[in-house]
């Protein structure tokens, strides 16, 4: 009888040993999965931040171009920019260089996959794709020869509302 007890003790793993081995295995698998998930999230945020920065810069350059167009046509350098002074702001279309007042909020930008341009064009072509980005332009008058332009690009992603803002001063030529 004494020999029988000794043989039974060495037959397999105890419940405690199995639980510890499972915990170690789970910890070894969860670590890399958490890292991969974090990397995917960071990659998505970095991509959207880069697009938003580019759209804000484009908005600023479009406003410079609008000022130049006004000067070349013999108009006041800030002609047509009045709607940008409202709290809701305005939007400017890159394809037609026109300023339009925003509702609350401004419209989402659309991407033309053929040209690669972002615009507010809503033509029902298969190449026009709506995006998550909303560009808003606000103008504040500093004095008669200077305005402050603030271009904000906002977007909603899984991690909440994100926003990129660019600010610059434009002078009368």
Residue 78 lies in a domain: yes
Cα–Cα nearest to 155, from 106, 116, 112: 106
* Predicted pLDDT at 112: 87
- Residue 45 makes CB contacts below 8 A (sequence gap 6+) with 157, 159, 162
Is 5 contained in some domain?
no
- From the list 51, 46, 71, 56, the residue with the least C-alpha distance to 172 is 71
- Cα–Cα distance measured from residue 47 to residue 42, given in angstroms and rounded to the nearest whole number: 9
CB 131 within 8 A of CB 112: no
- Determine, yes or no, domain membership for 1: no
Is residue 4 domain-resident? no
Q: Which domain holds residue 77?
A: 10-171
DSSP helix/strand/coil, 99: strand
**pLDDT per position as a tens digit, 33-85:** 777 777 777 777 889 999 999 999 999 999 999 999 999 999 999 999 999 99
Query: Is 28 a domain residue?
Result: yes
pTM of the entire predicted model: 0.76
The domain tally of the chain equals 1
């Amino acid at each position: 009888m004494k020999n029988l007890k000794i043989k039974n003790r060495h037959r397999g793993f105890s419940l405690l040993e199995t639980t510890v081995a499972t915990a170690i295995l789970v910890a070894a698998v969860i670590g890399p999965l958490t890292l991969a998930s974090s990397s995917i999230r960071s990659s998505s945020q970095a991509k959207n931040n880069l697009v938003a920065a580019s759209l804000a810069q484009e908005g600023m350059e479009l406003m410079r171009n609008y000022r130049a167009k006004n000067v070349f046509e013999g108009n006041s350098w800030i002609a047509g920019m009045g709607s940008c002074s409202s709290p809701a702001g305005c939007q400017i279309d890159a394809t037609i260089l026109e300023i339009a007042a925003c509702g609350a909020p401004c419209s989402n930008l659309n991407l033309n996959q053929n040209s690669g341009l972002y615009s507010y064009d809503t033509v029902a072509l298969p190449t026009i794709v709506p995006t998550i980005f909303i560009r808003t332009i606000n103008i504040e008058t500093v004095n008669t020869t200077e305005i402050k332009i603030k271009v904000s690009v906002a977007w909603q992603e899984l991690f909440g509302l994100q926003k990129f803002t660019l600010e610059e001063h434009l002078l009368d030529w």
